[in-house]
Amino acid sequence: MSAVRLEDLTPGAVVSGVTSNGLVAVVAVKWYGSNAINLTYRTDDGHIADQLLYRDHEARIGLREASSAYGFDGDGHLFKLAAEALRIRMAGRFDPMWTGKSGRGRSQQDLGGCASSRPSCAFAL
C-alpha cells in the first residue's frame, strides 16, 4: 500500500484506508482550499457516503487502482474527424451565410430569401 496525495483521488480511483470496511471507489471530489477535500465514495456493498479528508489523512490512504477518468489515450485522428463533423453540423447556427446544402433542404431562393430585390438583402462590396 503506497501513500497517496489528495490530488491522486479522482473519480474512478479505488482506494483503501478511507473506511475500516475495505476498499472504496471514488465518485466525486470537492476541494476546500488546498488542504481539504470532501470525498464522495461508493463502498463494496454499493452504499454512497462522503467524508472530509485533510492532508494528515494522506499517510493512511492507499491507492489500489488508479483512475482512468482523465485518460488521453484515444485515437487523435478519430477525434479530429468527429470535431470537424460537429463543426460542419453547427456552422449554420453561427454563420447565416453558410448554406450547407445537402440536396435535402430548400435553398434561399425557395424560401424567398436574398434572391428578391429587397434593399435589406443587398450587400455593398
**Second-level CATH architecture of 1-89:** Roll (2.30)
pLDDT at 125: 47
This model's pTM is above 0.85: no
CB atoms within 10 A of CB 108: 14
Confidence of residue 4 (pLDDT cuts 50, 70, 90): confident
Q: pLDDT tens, 34-74?
A: 999 999 999 988 899 999 999 999 988 988 887 765 667 78
List the alpha helices (DSSP H) in the chain: 76-94
Per-domain residue ranges of the chain: 1-89
The C-alpha cell at 90 is 453547427
